[in-house]
Amino acid sequence: MSILINQENGTITLHTDHTSYQMKADEIGTLLHCYYGARVPEEDLSYAVFRMNRGFSGNPYEKAAADRAYSLDTLPQELGTFGAGDYRISAVKIRHEGGDQALRLRFVKAEILPGKYALSALPASYEDGNEGCETLLVTMEDPEGSVRAELFYGVFPKKDVITRALRITNTGDAEKTLLKAAPLSLDFLEGDYDLIGFYGKWAKERVPERTVLRHGVQSFGSVRGGSSHHYNPSAILCDSSATEDYGRAWGFSFVYSGEFLLEAEKDKIDETRITLGIHPDDFSWPLAPGESFTSPEVLMTFSDQGISGISRRFHDFIRKNIVRGFWRDRRRPVLLNNWEATYFDFTGEKLVDIAKTARDLGVEMFVLDDGWFGHRNDDTCALGDWDPNEEKLQMSIAELGGKIRDLGLRFGIWFEPETISEDSDLYRAHPDWAVRIPGRLPDLSRSELILDMSRVDVQDYILRKMSSVIESAGATYVKWDFNRSVCDKYSHALPPSRQGEMAHRFVLGTYRVLEGLLSRFPELLIEGCSGGGGRFDCGMLYYTPQIWCSDNTDPIERLTIQYGTSFIYPVNTMGAHVSASPNHQTGRSTPMETRTAVAMSGTFGYELDPTKLLPAEQEEIRRGIGVFKELYETLQQGDYYRLTRPDDTGCTVWESVRKDRKEAVLTAVFDHVRANYTPVYVRLRGLKPDGKYKVSPVPGYRSADPRVPADSLIKEPVLSGSSLMNQGIFIPHYTKEYQSWQIIFSEV
């Protein structure tokens, strides 16, 4: 069993193959957090909890006379609450009918349930076959405040992942208001830690930033209606001495696509608490007597093999226990999207010509992006009018889809379902469907307003219109875009006292439409997008197996974006395309080989007009698609290792290792040329130490310098895994900017 409840000493221990997690109900019912780390025997680990009478850290009434060393302000707890003597950051805050906000929870019971819990109307991880998952359900109550808190723990023993969700119930006879709900609340007794978060902006998402966890509170989050370009709802806490491969690290990821807040506090006695949940600034949820609120879940994992160990555990888990459905285990088609090829300027026949050339080069799916509906010829109008513009296309959407399929290609289509244009038939018919505060002028972004997805009638409209187009076009792929942040939050369908529900209900509405589409079209591949990577989170990955990583398709810029994304998310969830050169965001010119190598560490596709390419570039597309298919298992399903950091050496290097360790692919990209070059050495990871590996360039590789045959740059054609992982290799130098190098290591 992975969950052990010890009735004698009150401990509750969760075990995975390599980790342990323990809590304990103490003598007055406080649920202490005792341990989370490397697997240990089932012992009462609360012996490490040190108690001392500390000034200005008060005592519960039951303990005040006899034990002034007992304080909720210093004890490590499983769920920190507000207003009852614990002055640290809290996970739960509730306003009672009398206006007070104190919550003092006491342990009631713990139950072991078979399998993994599910969450109604919310995405959540699931068991992949017979993994031996169990659920721990812990019930706590505040008898004076008439509140019940239930903590759900999903234990995935083989994946070394534990999940947490929270349900709050009003057990009283008057309405209460939930003000804060963070399913993650984790305390550490001691240690000097660093916090790794992922900040960014449009076209520069998920840049890793490691900071020393100092005394006080550090936080990041989003009040933008989605998880945002600016901060990702994931983090890694690690020992200050931890590296990629050594040291203790804890990873956290919120399975939610809305507003969130992560807080970390190092307190007055050097204890650390970290919380993660729905952002409280934009949230309030009335609870009538008997009503409950269920939070989204948080994923947790621990590794004593450094930060890279966290990444690989999350990668395996997200691939098999978050992503689901028809496309989870299938190779997704290599696609060409017409956006950077045509923007709004196209006809149906022009699209067919592009698709035919793409088909001849090996592309498997053609995707029609923005501009096919309403009177939309720029980004100022027609959002919400999801009726094909047959005058512009000069054919129906059914005819266009048929022509694409007749070429032997799949057909995909772009939508932006959650927004609405003032210049649209939908807005003129239903102005109350737009998110805007009565009596105020709204904030516009890209000339867009937000469509109120918290409303069921809006959800039903979007589901009906999208389904009609998908069915008519014979589409098997949808790109779901969301091109602005949410503000002026107000729903005309909610009374003033319940406007604090709007932001969360908006996300639930989006989830409902996504689930509805997948129910009607179970083989539909949906790619999430929010102006690129503005909503890259496990909540969306539950519905959309891949997410457009960034609108920035420059391969040199993508080095940092995909590097940062890889700390939490696997390669096969990162939408990545080969685009035209010079790049339309940066103006940078890069070799086709380099653009191809970078895009292979993503879902792989193209964002250009192949009819305008030189024959050599077209041939590189044929080669690239062939290599991608040949190396698919290694590149998309293998273990991923970051071997250098972007900008450290001028050469970014990463490695993918097939699960059976029979093959590895190393990719290196130079971001600039340096005089008097210092060789870049890397030590490989994940190989069989006693295995022998043939070292060779990827098929069809062409050296940057035509005078130097590619094979001559491989000094030793066969090397042991031990030598490759300990002595390592150096990356051959280039004399041209932005060149790349891909090497295969094949066991012989």
Angstrom CA distances, 292 to 122, 143, 279, 286, stand at: 14, 16, 18, 9
Closest CA to 197 of 215, 180, 218: 218
Single out the catalytic residue among 609, 617, 639, 663.
617
CA distance 569 to 224: 22
SS3 291: coil
Q: Is 244 tagged catalytic?
A: no
Sequence-separated (6 or more) residues with CB below 8 Å from residue 737: 670, 671, 672, 673
CA distance 425 to 380: 13
Q: Let me know: does 532 contact 562? Beta carbons within 8 Å.
A: no
Encoded tokens for 455? 């409303």
Alpha carbon 681 to chain centroid distance? 31
Q: Let me know: does 408 contact 359? Beta carbons within 8 Å.
A: yes
Q: Is 554 tagged catalytic?
A: no
CA distance 31 to 27: 10
Q: Let me know: does 556 contact 539? Beta carbons within 8 Å.
A: no
Is residue 457 within a helix (H) or strand (E), and if so which, with residue range? helix 456-473
Q: Let me know: does 263 contact 89? Beta carbons within 8 Å.
A: yes
Is residue 254 within a helix (H) or strand (E), and if so which, with residue range? strand 249-254
Strands of 477-480's sheet, edge to edge? 574-575, 546-548, 525-528, 477-480, 410-415, 365-368, 335-337, 605-607, 577-579
CA distance 307 to 648: 18
Single out the catalytic residue among 537, 557, 609, 663.
537
SS3 598: helix
What are residue 220's DSSP bridge partners?
262
Angstrom CA distances, 345 to 372, 393, 726, stand at: 10, 10, 54
Known catalytic residues are 537, 617
